[in-house]
Homo-oligomer: A and B are copies of this chain.
Amino acid sequence: MDELRQWLDTLSPQTDDEWRRFSSIVEPVTYDKNDFLIQAGQVEKYIYYVTEGMVRLFLNDNGKDISLDFIFSHNFASAYSSFLTGQPTQFTAQALTDVRALRFSRTNLLALYDQSHTAERIGRLIAEQAFLRKTSREVQFLTSSAKQRYGQLLEQNPVLVQTISVRHLASYLGIEPESLSRIRRDI
């Protein structure tokens, strides 16, 4: 919990009272490896702060899994689009390892936004961060070849590249596992 407070405080410092109110809507949850945090077709009710373990976010397109994100500990996981719109999600979030997380619900968060300007600000900053991540990915897809995208990912996040399976990593890069395997050989 302290860790989560520190994370949020880097976005916008909270008073002890604000933190008390926020922490009252947070609940700890655990998942076994391969468990689902959310499945396609459901409406996302939560944002998860992962304290231990790893989560993969993916969608299924005609029987084929495509990874959209890998969440390591000390980061947020959610089918965020669905969380924001209230529409059923096309995404599934699955634990890649045993996972411990802290989660809070949309309903409680919206109520907190009404009460607390600071909470609203943190909500804004989280959305802005999420936007920045997506934009950087958009630019990569538009400007770089598969090989270049792999190279950039390797630079930016070597741990991710080492940790995630070829299959999942390939779909995240928008290519087939065979292609990623060849790209790796050629380096």
Seen from chain A, the residues whose Cβ lies within 8 Å of a Cβ on chain B are 59, 61, 66, 68, 80-81, 84-85, 90, 113, 117, 120-121, 123-124, 127-128, 130-132, 134-135, 137-139, 141-143, 171, 174
Question: Nearest-CB distance from A125 to chain B (Å)?
Answer: 8
Dominant secondary structure of chain A at its interface with chain B: helix
- Please tell me which one of the listed residues B59, B117, B139, B142 contacts residue A139 in the complex, with CB atoms under 8 A apart: B59
Q: Are A131 and B59 in contact (CB under 8 A)?
A: no
CB neighbours (8 Å) of A80 from chain B are 131, 135
- Please tell me which one of the listed residues B66, B84, B139, B171 contacts residue A131 in the complex, with CB atoms under 8 A apart: B84
- Please tell me which one of the listed residues B68, B84, B127, B131 contacts residue A142 in the complex, with CB atoms under 8 A apart: B68
CB neighbours (8 Å) of A174 from chain B are 141-142
A12 to B1, CA, bound (A): 32
CB neighbours (8 Å) of A135 from chain B are 80-81, 134
CB neighbours (8 Å) of A84 from chain B are 128, 131-132
CB neighbours (8 Å) of A120 from chain B are 117, 120-121, 124
- Please tell me which one of the listed residues B61, B85, B130 contacts residue A143 in the complex, with CB atoms under 8 A apart: B61
A171 to B141, CA, bound (A): 11
In the complex, the chain B residue whose C-beta lies closest to that of A84 is B128
A31 to B89, CA, bound (A): 41
